């Protein structure tokens, strides 16, 4: 295995928590103390190591995926310095030091997962997504590659409803696969332009667009205020603070704040 240094602070267990808490994730699978992911037809394994992680294999194909999964786009020290001036966040950050929010390595995968999660629990959404992966993805060792956009475009909506997707969600997912939009090119646009392009797609609303900014593009000012779990976290920690208006309070670190507040409620 090759070593990859990760800027401190870094806590591997907290960073990979989301791949365990909702059940086994067929695409990013926690297995025997490490994280597995299929990359380019190969099974990649990431394990904790002093000063970072050990990765096998580590090369130009796998390294960008590792960077996404470990949230290396985020610069934590400036956030921690800023959070120290907020009594609530100061305690949260101290308790969760080293947590780097994991990012989705692929935009289509991220949006399909978000559609699956609309108006259902994340446990149900993951189970539904796992069935999709097993039906249309490719197994690589102990893990599965997420289905390609082309493979989903060739599927019938009835095949998705048989996996537990509602009729509307099945239509949204197949429609997204057929949509004439370059999802990778969205990275070159401003936040508002990304929101506008996404909500113009059938089945993509503000909630999904905001999470795309947060969990794929790592945009610092993304604030998914419509997320029920985030609303509950803000209410639990800040009382009557209006969650939509709260984004201004947490500027310029809205994205990191949202992730830390959410994790603080999963790990009380």
Break the chain into its structural domains and give their ranges.
2-72, 107-201
Q: What is the mean pLDDT of residues 238-263?
A: 95
CATH architecture of 107-201: Orthogonal Bundle (1.10)
Give the rounded percent of residues in the chain with a pLDDT score beyond 70.
Answer: 100
Residue 268 pLDDT > 90, yes or no? no
pLDDT of residue 170: 98
Q: What are 52-78's pLDDT values in tens digits?
A: 999 999 999 999 999 999 999 999 999
pLDDT of residue 235: 95
pTM of this prediction? 0.96
Residue 168 pLDDT > 90, yes or no? yes
Residue 148's pLDDT band, with cuts at 50, 70 and 90, is: very high
- Spatial distance between the Cα atoms of 6 and 36, rounded to a whole number of angstroms: 18
Residue 201 pLDDT > 90, yes or no? yes
DSSP letters of 121-136?
Answer: -HHHHHHHHHHHHHHH
User: In angstroms, what CA-CA distances link 259 with 24, 140, 174, 204?
Assistant: 21, 30, 29, 21
């Amino acid at each position: 295995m090759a070593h990859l240094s990760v800027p401190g602070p870094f806590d591997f267990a907290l960073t990979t928590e989301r791949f365990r808490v909702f059940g086994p994730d067929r695409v990013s699978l926690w297995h025997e103390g490490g994280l597995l992911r299929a990359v380019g037809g190969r099974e990649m394994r990431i394990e904790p190591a002093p000063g970072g992680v050990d990765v096998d294999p580590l090369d130009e194909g796998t390294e960008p995926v590792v960077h996404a999964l470990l949230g290396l786009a985020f610069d934590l020290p400036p956030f921690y310095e800023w959070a120290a001036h907020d009594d609530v966040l100061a305690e949260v950050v101290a308790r969760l030091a080293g947590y780097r929010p994991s990012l989705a390595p692929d935009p289509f995968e991220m949006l399909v997962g978000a559609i699956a999660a609309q108006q259902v629990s994340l446990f149900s959404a993951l189970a539904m997504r796992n069935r999709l992966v097993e039906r249309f993805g490719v197994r690589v060792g102990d893990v599965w590659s997420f289905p390609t956009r082309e493979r989903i475009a060739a599927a019938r909506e009835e095949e998705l409803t048989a996996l537990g997707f509602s009729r509307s969600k099945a239509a949204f997912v197949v429609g997204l696969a057929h949509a004439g939009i370059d999802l990778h090119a969205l990275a070159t646009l401003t936040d508002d332009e990304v929101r506008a392009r996404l909500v113009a797609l059938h089945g993509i609303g503000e909630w999904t667009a905001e999470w795309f900014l947060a969990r794929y593009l790592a945009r610092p000012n993304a604030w998914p205020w419509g997320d029920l779990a985030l609303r509950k976290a803000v209410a639990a920690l800040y009382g009557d603070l209006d969650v939509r208006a709260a984004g201004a309070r947490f500027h310029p670190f809205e994205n990191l704040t949202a992730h830390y507040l959410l994790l603080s409620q999963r790990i009380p």
